[in-house]
């Protein structure tokens, strides 16, 4: 995995981070709108469109909002898979090759026509395979 974005912020602080595939016409966005944290898949056309969105957290549910939180966005070398890490833990993956999005809580249900995979729950096995971690 190739680290593209690294940023520290406090949860609940208005934050907008984007990263684009170096080989394809799509990207990802992490947004904390002071109520929720979401990770979005977007196309990189003249009129960018949100393809899918994954829930990461509700600000009101986070106990330690005063501590700095580290966000990282990484891409697989082929530019077809992006991962969101929060404090060194993978919380979401967009697999553009398979048109699939996964997050810890599997929420929300697959919207629209872009996502082809209905099961959105991110598993430890998926994370291990993406980051090539041996169990």
pLDDT at 84: 98
| Through-space distance between the first and last CA atoms of the chain, rounded to whole angstroms | 18
Closest CA to 122 of 90, 85, 79: 90
Residue boundaries of the structural domains of the chain = 2-130
pTM of the model: 0.93
Domain spanning 2-130, CATH class: mainly beta
Is 100 buried (19+), middle (13-18) or exposed (0-12) by CB count in 10 A? buried
Q: Is the pLDDT of residue 110 over 70?
A: yes
- Residues 83, 85, 89, CA angle at the centre, nearest 5°? 120
pLDDT at 97: 95
pLDDT at 133: 57
Report which DSSP code applies to 121.
B
CA distance 51 to 132: 27
Average pLDDT, the chain: 93
CA distance 88 to 90: 7
State mean pLDDT over 56-83.
Answer: 95
Q: Is the pLDDT of residue 83 over 60?
A: yes
Q: Is the pLDDT of residue 134 over 70?
A: no
């Amino acid at each position: 995995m190739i680290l593209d974005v690294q940023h520290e912020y406090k949860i609940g602080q208005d934050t907008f981070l984007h990263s684009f595939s170096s080989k394809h016409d799509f990207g990802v966005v992490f947004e904390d709108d002071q109520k929720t944290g979401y990770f979005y898949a977007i196309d990189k056309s003249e009129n960018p469109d949100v393809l899918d969105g994954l829930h990461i957290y509700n600000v009101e549910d986070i106990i330690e909002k005063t501590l700095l939180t580290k966000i990282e966005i990484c891409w697989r070398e082929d530019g077809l898979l992006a991962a969101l890490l929060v404090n060194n833990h993978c919380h979401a993956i967009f697999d553009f090759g398979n048109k699939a999005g996964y997050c810890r809580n599997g929420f929300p249900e697959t919207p629209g026509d872009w996502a082809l995979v209905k099961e959105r729950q991110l598993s430890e096995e998926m994370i291990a395979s993406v980051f090539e971690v041996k169990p």
